[in-house]
Amino acid sequence: GNGTMSSCGVQLSVSIMDTGSNKAFTMGGLTQRLFTPSKPDVVVGPAISDVAQATATILGIESIDTAQISYWAASPLPSVPWWTRPS
């Protein structure tokens, strides 16, 4: 507790993509990022329910298996283990 951070061997790499709340744009950018050597372990967002539903479907494919946290989506989404939103 002295307010300093010590090395824990974990590094976070962040990539930000402005989706513009557009499903086609989001899906294109997500697909491009998923099939790279540095594919994401977690996706935060998108905020719009319609777009979040589409990304959750792709992220849940077994070979991709990437978690998604949608912080603003309000519509009921399929009950899938790789998707969550704060309640």
Residue 73, SS3 per DSSP: coil
Provide the whole-model pTM.
0.67
pLDDT confidence band for 69 (50 / 70 / 90): confident
Per-residue pLDDT tens over the stretch 5-56:
667 777 777 888 888 888 898 899 888 888 888 888 888 888 888 888 888 8
pLDDT confidence band for 67 (50 / 70 / 90): confident
* 62, two tokens: 């077994």
- Section 65-74 average pLDDT: 78
pLDDT at 76: 62
